[in-house]
């Protein structure tokens, strides 16, 4: 319901945002596509001509490709499982009556506000350092040999760090969803004699399914792009090279832009597949 | 000045025609009420005049000038919305001042008009409050205040009383009528309530499905409804319609008789029936009479109290010269 | 859920919840505590928890060694600059979508959000190249632009959901009152949407403050914000726990405090309105 005046005004007003985002999306995308078909080594001769799909096949056949996919999947899936399971438990816990609920909630949310470089560094040095780290002290207190986290258990280390960062997000959203659950529905099931485990399984969990989907999808987007946590801890060594990090290394460290760009195209395709699912769910909520 | 002319105005939303070609003239200083059942297009028509919607065809002229494509702000009209649409973040004073601020009127003049409006609308004590701290009636007054300070060429009201309770509604009705007498500015008022239409209007426009069924003064519409729709819509309680043999006696497809034009008697009369529910209002009693063989229910207005009870036999007699006759198309037969 | 619980049950809940809460918060707490220790105490075995000689010397050393204030200034300028710029571009766009929705509004919104999902690493080199060409590398202006662009979809989305709750009749009233479109937005829409705009600003400052891909890759020294300041501590130089802690505390404190204040609004922004 609007007039011609307001419709044309609307078009003008939305234009800056659309044009900016279109530029932000198209210009680098086209450049990435362009480079991906070239042999392009900025420090070793620059543009060495068209190579067709060679970069694409080289990227996929390189010995690092499949391990990086495996690493990426391990990271994403592990963090998702940990944050969703713990998130549901935490949300259930925080939903119960207690003293100082507000403060507890603030404590739980805090990691989300810590910048990735900081959380990676304090975990790496102050907790996971095999000599002076707090965990090493803890291991020794129990007479065990401290773990060389960053080298022997590099993936678990990164998974722990990233999970710690994302657990608040999952908890916050799941808590919001639990709080929107109709209390009478639970009371009715209690009256019907359903034990707590069944109540959780048949009433709470189905109610949370939508929120869990949202958590999974949004986190997936961000987890696929995990960068700083690897950058400041292992630097991609010890089997922690994700697809994103592999591309980063190809482009900036080995300065093989063509190859990196082909990898970038793969990453974009991967992200778009995830995005399509997310958009569907969000889109449904618009009306 | 505030003469509004609609010429062949149409409005369609996609494939749906809300208003087929429509012609109407609203004279300067007139109080015109658009009335009709919900969804009849009356609010759309008002929004077309306001410029909040584009016409799909035809022309709107205000004081002779083509306003069809003019932005709402440029039409010199003021509107009072159903929800009042007050600015919640501004005080009453700032709400009322807003249109003047937009028009660039100087501060002294603004203050003068605000004081005058506040005094006229009993808002002087509330000028520094926010809309959230006011009652429904007060908010309504602020909305009216905001409209009058602009000194518009016409006021548009979109069901302004529908959010008020019954008692307040009667009071506000009088205030708006009073305001019209005082300002003598054109007012276009939309309502679904025929009582508001009858009591306030100089001219009523009855709408159904975007089509004007009749235009006239309240009493014209009451005395000589052009068709069955208007006859049934204007007047409360509704007119009784009788079809079949009784109507044929008057050479009509259907005859109508208003409840107040029937007399009821316990002993004799033209039509016989059984008393159903009777509504006692004190000053009047409305009898719902069944089993007359004429219509399912006949409503009769009886002055004062009435002694018959549920199930009693009653006789009804119409005033012969108050019978309305309609043909097969539902049009009035003179 | 207002369900009656015994005091004992409540006490148990409280104990468990506090224990878990403190466990999750512990890394941050430990960092803050360590920042007040001497380097010797920071690596003491067994670790000292509260009973040590509190000192502020680490903060002084960090400021001296790394020029914290310069990074802080960069972080503030980049986070606030990109947010303000984003808001200015997003308000008109959100107005259009919320109050003059057309057939394609939803598609445009979805498309905007989908740009957020473009993996940064996929377009790193082109942006890097463009930045060199445009002289934006290691400049605050460059980062302000990039962070504005990556957060713009979220800003538009959040404002859109807030604007939709404002009744259109009030804007129509403004139009009838003679307000131009500009005045309608400045005097009526924006003041009414202040709470929503405020929480949008908060969330975006947090996101921009913590952004650690573009800020690390597009800066060197001049324009580097706190994310890069901290990354410079990633290679240990002798005893450095206390200093690392002080630096970390300084990097996260502003945003931690801000985030706590705006946590309620955050849920909404973070879920794109998908969970009510």
Domain spans, chain A: 28-64+241-287, 67-235
Q: How confident is the model at residue A175 (pLDDT cuts 50, 70, 90)?
A: confident
- Where do the H-state alpha helices sit in B149-269? 166-183, 194-200, 218-223, 228-233, 245-248
B132 interface with C at CB cutoff 8 Å? no
Which residue from C minimizes the CA distance to B152?
Answer: C177
- Rounded to whole angstroms, the Cα distance separating C160 from B229 reads 44
- Rounded to whole angstroms, the Cα distance separating A130 from A211 reads 38
Is C2–A183 a contact, with Cβ atoms under 8 angstroms apart?
yes
Percent share of chain C, pLDDT over 70: 92
To the nearest 10 degrees (0 to 180), the angle between helices C68-99 and C194-210 is 140
Minimal CA separation from C187 to chain B, in Å: 9
pLDDT of residue C238: 56
List, for residues B189-210, the tens digit of each pLDDT value. Answer: 999 999 999 999 999 999 998 8
Is C216–A247 a contact, with Cβ atoms under 8 angstroms apart?
no
Task: Name the residue ranges covered by the structural domains of chain C.
Answer: 7-59, 68-232
pLDDT of residue C1: 43
- The CATH code of domain C68-232 reads 1.10.3720.10
Among B191, B155, B186, residue whose Cα is nearest residue B173? B191
- Rounded to whole angstroms, the Cα distance separating C135 from A61 reads 37
pTM for the model stands at 0.82
- Rounded to whole angstroms, the Cα distance separating C121 from A284 reads 30
Percent share of chain B, pLDDT over 90: 59
pLDDT mean over B149-167: 90
Residue B169 token pair? 């509604």
Report the residue from C30, C236, C267 with minimal CB separation from A134. C30
Is A113–C127 a contact, with Cβ atoms under 8 angstroms apart?
no
In total, the C-beta contacts within 8 angstroms joining chain B to chain C are: 64
Q: What is the mean pLDDT of chain C?
A: 84
C143: pLDDT strictly greater than 70: yes
State the architecture of A67-235 in CATH terms. Answer: Orthogonal Bundle (1.10)
Minimal CA separation from A160 to chain C, in Å: 12
C265: pLDDT strictly greater than 70: no
pLDDT of residue B129: 93
List, for residues C25-63, the tens digit of each pLDDT value. Answer: 999 999 998 888 877 777 777 777 777 778 888 888 888
Q: Name the strand (E) or helix (H) holding B205.
A: strand B203-208
Q: Which chain C residues contact residue B99 at CB under 8 A?
A: 177-178
In what side-by-side order are the strands of the sheet with B4-13?
B16-26, B4-13, B57-62, B65-66
Q: Which chain C residues contact residue A250 at CB under 8 A?
A: none
Q: What is the mean pLDDT of chain A?
A: 84
A286: pLDDT strictly greater than 70: no
Which residue from C minimizes the CA distance to B71?
Answer: C175
Is A107–C97 a contact, with Cβ atoms under 8 angstroms apart?
no
Q: How confident is the model at residue A285 (pLDDT cuts 50, 70, 90)?
A: low
Helix/strand/coil percentages in chain A, nearest 5:
75, 5, 20
Q: How far is CA C26 from the centre of its chain?
A: 21
pLDDT of residue A212: 85
Question: Which residue would you say has higher pLDDT here, A280 or C251?
Answer: C251
pLDDT mean over B155-179: 90
Which residue from C minimizes the CA distance to A114?
Answer: C252
Question: A-contacting residues of C 171-190, CB under 8 Å?
Answer: 181
Q: Which of C167, C177, C183 to mutate to test the interface with B (most CBs of B within 10 A)?
A: C177
Residue C64 token pair? 């001296």
Q: Which chain A residues contact residue B72 at CB under 8 A?
A: 3
Q: How confident is the model at residue C4 (pLDDT cuts 50, 70, 90)?
A: low
Minimal CA separation from B86 to chain C, in Å: 7
Q: Which chain B residues contact residue C172 at CB under 8 A?
A: 50, 52, 72, 79, 81, 85
CA quadruple C228, C232, C233, C234: dihedral, nearest 10: 90
Percent share of chain B, pLDDT over 70: 100
- Rounded to whole angstroms, the Cα distance separating C30 from A128 reads 13
pLDDT of residue B29: 92
Among C203, C223, C256, C221, residue whose Cα is nearest residue C78? C223
Instruction: List subunits contacting chain B, requiring 3 or more Cβ pairs under 8 Å.
Output: A, C
Question: Which residue would you say has higher pLDDT here, A172 or A191?
Answer: A172
Q: Which chain C residues contact residue A35 at CB under 8 A?
A: 125-126
User: What are C151's strand-pairing partners?
Assistant: none
B331 interface with C at CB cutoff 8 Å? no
Which residue from A minimizes the CA distance to C253?
Answer: A114
Tell me the C-alpha to C-alpha distance, in Å, between residue C220 and each of C74, C140, C232. 12, 11, 11
Q: Which chain C residues contact residue B82 at CB under 8 A?
A: 169
pLDDT of residue C81: 95
List, for residues A243-271, the tens digit of each pLDDT value. Answer: 888 888 888 777 888 888 888 888 888 88
- Rounded to whole angstroms, the Cα distance separating B26 from B321 reads 33
Tell me: cis bond preceding C46? Omega within 30 of 0 counts: yes
A159: pLDDT strictly greater than 80: yes
Q: Which of A87, A100, A110, A185 to mutate to test the interface with C (most CBs of C within 10 A)?
A: A110
- Rounded to whole angstroms, the Cα distance separating B76 from B82 reads 20
pLDDT of residue B31: 95
Q: Which chain B residues contact residue A1 at CB under 8 A?
A: 52-53
> Is ipTM over 0.85?
no
pLDDT of residue B256: 93
Is C179–B103 a contact, with Cβ atoms under 8 angstroms apart?
no
B139 interface with C at CB cutoff 8 Å? no
pLDDT of residue C274: 53
- Rounded to whole angstroms, the Cα distance separating B25 from B116 reads 32
pLDDT of residue B185: 93
Domains of chain B from N-terminus onward: 4-231 (3.40.50.300), 237-333 (2.40.50.140)
Q: How confident is the model at residue B324 (pLDDT cuts 50, 70, 90)?
A: very high
Instruction: List subunits contacting chain A, requiring 3 or more Cβ pairs under 8 Å.
Output: B, C
pLDDT mean over A159-175: 91
Instruction: List subunits contacting chain C, requiring 3 or more Cβ pairs under 8 Å.
Output: A, B
Give the residue carrying structure tokens 């040590």: C52
Q: Which chain A residues contact residue B51 at CB under 8 A?
A: 3
Report the residue from C3, C22, C126 with minimal CB separation from A27. C126
List, for residues B296-307, the tens digit of each pLDDT value. Answer: 899 999 887 777
B224: pLDDT strictly greater than 90: yes
SS3 assignment for chain C: CCCCCCHHHHHHHHHHHHHHHHHHHHHHHHHHHHCCCCHHHHCCCCCCCCCCCCCCHHHHHHHHHHCHHHHHHHHHHHHHHHHHHHHHHHHHHHHHHHHCCCCCHHHHHHHHHHHCCCCHHHHHHHHHHHHHHHCCCCCHHHHHHHHHHHHHHHHHHHHHHHHCCCCHHHHHHHHHCCCCHHHHHHHHHHHHCHHHHHHHHHHHHHHHHHCCCHHHHCCCCCCCCHHHHHHCCCCCCCCCHHHHHHHHHHHHHHHHHHHHHCHHHHHHHHCCCCCC
Is A4–B71 a contact, with Cβ atoms under 8 angstroms apart?
no
Task: Pick the range with the lowest mean pLDDT from B84-88, B249-253, C41-45.
Answer: C41-45
| Measured distance between the N- and C-terminal CA atoms of chain B, rounded to whole angstroms | 37
Report the residue from C125, C130, C248 with minimal CB separation from A121. C248
Question: Which residue would you say has higher pLDDT here, B97 or A7?
Answer: B97
Is B102–C178 a contact, with Cβ atoms under 8 angstroms apart?
yes
pLDDT of residue C128: 86
């Amino acid at each position: 319901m609007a007039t011609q005046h307001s419709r044309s005004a609307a078009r003008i007003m939305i234009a800056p945002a659309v044009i900016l985002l279109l530029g932000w999306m198209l210009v680098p995308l086209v450049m990435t596509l362009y480079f991906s078909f070239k042999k392009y080594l900025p420090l070793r001769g620059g543009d060495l001509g068209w190579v067709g799909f060679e970069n694409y096949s080289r990227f996929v056949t390189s010995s690092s490709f499949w391990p990086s996919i495996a690493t990426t999947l391990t990271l994403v899936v592990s963090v998702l499982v940990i944050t969703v399971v713990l998130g549901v438990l935490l949300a259930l816990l925080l939903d119960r009556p207690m003293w100082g609920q507000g403060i507890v909630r603030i404590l739980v949310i805090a990691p989300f506000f810590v910048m990735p470089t900081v959380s990676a560094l304090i975990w790496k040095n102050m907790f996971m350092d095999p000599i002076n780290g707090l965990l090493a002290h803890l291991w020794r207190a129990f007479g065990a040999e401290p773990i060389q986290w960053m080298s022997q258990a590099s993936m678990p280390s990164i998974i722990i760090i990233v999970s710690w960062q994302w657990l608040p997000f999952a908890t916050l959203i799941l808590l919001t969803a639990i709080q929107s659950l109709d209390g009478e529905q639970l009371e009715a099931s209690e009256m019907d004699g359903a034990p707590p485990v069944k109540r959780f399984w048949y009433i709470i969990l189905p109610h949370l399914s939508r929120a869990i989907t949202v958590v999974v999808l949004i986190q997936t987007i961000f987890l696929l792009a995990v960068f700083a946590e690897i950058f400041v801890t292992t630097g991609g060594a010890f089997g922690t090279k994700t697809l994103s990090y592999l591309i980063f290394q190809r482009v900036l460290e080995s300065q093989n832009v063509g190859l990196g760009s082909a990898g970038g195209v793969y990453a974009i395709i991967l992200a778009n597949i995830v995005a399509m699912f997310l958009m569907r769910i969000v889109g449904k909520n618009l009306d | 000045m505030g003469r509004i002319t609609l010429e062949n105005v149409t409005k369609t939303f996609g494939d749906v025609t809300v208003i087929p070609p429509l012609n109407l003239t609203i004279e300067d200083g007139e109080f015109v009420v658009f009335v009709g059942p919900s969804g009849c297009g009356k609010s759309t028509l008002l929004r077309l005049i306001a410029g909040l919607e584009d016409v799909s065809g035809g022309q709107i002229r205000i004081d002779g000038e083509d306003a069809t494509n003019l932005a709402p702000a440029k039409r010199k009209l003021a509107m009072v919305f159903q929800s009042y649409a007050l600015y919640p973040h501004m005080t009453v004073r700032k709400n009322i001042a807003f249109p003047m601020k937009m028009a660039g009127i100087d501060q002294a003049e603004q203050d003068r008009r605000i004081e005058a409006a506040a005094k006229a609308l009993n808002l002087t004590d509330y000028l520094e409050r926010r809309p959230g701290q006011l009652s429904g009636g007060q908010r309504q007054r602020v909305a009216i205040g905001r409209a009058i300070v602009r000194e518009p060429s016409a006021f548009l009201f979109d069901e302004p009383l529908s959010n008020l309770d019954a008692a307040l509604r009667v009071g506000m009705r009088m205030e708006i009528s009073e305001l019209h007498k005082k300002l003598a500015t054109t007012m276009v008022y939309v309502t679904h309530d025929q009582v508001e239409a009858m009591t306030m209007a100089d001219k009523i426009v009855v709408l159904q499905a975007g089509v004007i069924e009749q235009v006239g003064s309240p009493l014209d519409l009451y005395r000589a409804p052009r068709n069955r729709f208007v006859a049934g819509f204007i007047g409360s309680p509704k007119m009784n319609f009788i079809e079949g043999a009784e109507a044929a006696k008057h050479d009509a497809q259907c005859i109508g008789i208003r409840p107040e034009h029937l007399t009821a008697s316990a002993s004799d009369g033209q039509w016989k029936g059984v008393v159903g529910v009777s509504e006692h209002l004190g000053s009047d009693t409305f009898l719902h009479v069944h089993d007359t063989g004429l219509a399912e229910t006949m409503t009769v207005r009886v002055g004062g109290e009435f002694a018959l009870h549920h199930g009693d036999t009653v006789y009804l007699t119409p005033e012969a010269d108050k019978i309305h006759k309609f043909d097969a198309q539902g049009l009035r037969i003179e | 859920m207002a369900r009656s619980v015994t005091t004992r049950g409540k006490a148990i809940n409280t104990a468990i919840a506090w224990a878990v809460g403190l466990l999750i918060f512990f890394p941050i707490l430990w960092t803050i505590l360590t920042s007040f220790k001497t380097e010797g105490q920071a690596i003491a075995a067994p670790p000292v928890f509260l009973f040590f000689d509190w000192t502020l010397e680490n903060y002084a050393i960090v400021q001296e060694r790394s020029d914290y204030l310069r990074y802080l200034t960069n972080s503030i300028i980049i986070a606030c600059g990109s947010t303000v710029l984003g808001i200015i571009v997003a308000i008109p766009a959100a107005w259009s979508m919320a109050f003059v929705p057309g057939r394609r509004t939803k598609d445009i919104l979805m498309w905007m959000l989908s740009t957020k999902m473009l993996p940064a690493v996929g377009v790193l080199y082109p942006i890097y190249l463009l930045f060199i060409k445009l002289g934006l590398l290691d400049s605050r202006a460059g980062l302000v632009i990039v962070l504005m662009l990556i957060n713009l979809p979220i800003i538009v989305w959040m404002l859109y959901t807030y604007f939709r709750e404002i009744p259109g009749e009030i804007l129509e009233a403004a139009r009838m009152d003679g307000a131009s479109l500009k005045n309608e937005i400045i005097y009526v829409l924006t003041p009414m949407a202040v709470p929503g705009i405020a929480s949008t600003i908060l969330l975006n400052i947090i996101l921009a403050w913590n952004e650690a891909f573009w800020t690390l890759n597009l800066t060197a020294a001049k324009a580097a914000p706190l994310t890069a300041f901290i990354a410079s501590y990633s290679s240990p130089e002798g005893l450095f726990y206390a200093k690392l802690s002080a630096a970390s505390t300084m990097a996260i404190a502003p945003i931690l405090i801000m985030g706590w204040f705006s946590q309620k609004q955050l849920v909404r922004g973070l879920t794109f309105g998908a969970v009510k």
